[in-house]
């Protein structure tokens, strides 16, 4: 009987130690994305950490899934949709002479984005990355760099 009590006590001690290891304080947002581990969904805090790391300045946080950021002189809305499995960036520009022809030319000649005139007639560009099947932190960072480049090229093509 004494052996049974010792064995049960030992098993309880091991179980407590295992539970304590699982309750370690959470790491900083985005820290788990530093490795090449595959993620299939992003939390808002992770997205914000990646944006700041990539040089996007956060203007405001509209919700956990929508962040307004500034990239150089451009303001973008970056949103998580589909339960954190799709990241979407959008920027609109005012005071241009862009036409539907300008947007059609952009869409014909460029990949990785789409452009259109919004309801106010302002040229708008969007990019997105679907992470549902799994992507690495490196791929997310690459998408943010690509988005920066695409927006800069789009701005250069807008007639003033």
pLDDT for 145 equals 95
Domain extent listing, the chain: 28-157
β strands within 34-120, DSSP E: 38-39, 57-63, 66-71, 74-81, 86-92, 114-117
What average pLDDT does this structure show over 9-35? Answer: 46
Q: Is the pLDDT of residue 7 over 50?
A: no
Alpha helices in 80-136 (DSSP H): 100-109
Q: How many CB atoms lie within 10 A of CB 47?
A: 24
In whole angstroms, what is the distance from residue 43 CA to residue 26 CA?
13
CA angle, corner 59, sides to 53 and 65, nearest 5?
75
Q: What is the pLDDT of residue 35?
A: 67
Number of Cβ within 10 Å of residue 137's Cβ equals: 20
**pLDDT surpasses 60 at 144:** yes
- What pLDDT digit, counting tens, does each position of 40-49 carry? 999 999 999 9
CATH code for the structural domain at 28-157 = 3.30.1460.10
pTM of the model: 0.79
pLDDT in tens, 24-83: 334 566 666 766 889 999 999 999 999 999 999 999 999 999 999 998 889 999 999 999
């Amino acid at each position: 009987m004494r052996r049974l009590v010792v064995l049960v006590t030992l098993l309880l001690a091991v179980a407590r130690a295992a539970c304590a290891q699982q309750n370690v304080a959470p790491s900083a947002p985005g820290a788990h994305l530093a490795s090449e581990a595959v993620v299939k969904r992003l939390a808002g805090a992770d997205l914000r950490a990646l944006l700041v790391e990539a040089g996007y300045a956060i203007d405001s946080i509209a919700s956990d899934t929508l962040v307004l950021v500034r990239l150089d002189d451009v303001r973008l809305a970056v949103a998580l949709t589909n339960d954190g499995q799709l990241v979407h960036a959008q920027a609109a520009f005012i005071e241009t002479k862009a036409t539907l022809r300008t947007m059609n030319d952009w869409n014909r000649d460029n990949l990785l984005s789409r452009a259109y005139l919004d309801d106010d007639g302002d040229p708008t560009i969007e990019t997105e990355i679907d992470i549902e099947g799994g992507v690495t932190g490196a791929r997310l960072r690459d998408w943010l760099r690509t988005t920066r480049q695409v927006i800069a090229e789009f701005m250069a093509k807008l007639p003033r």
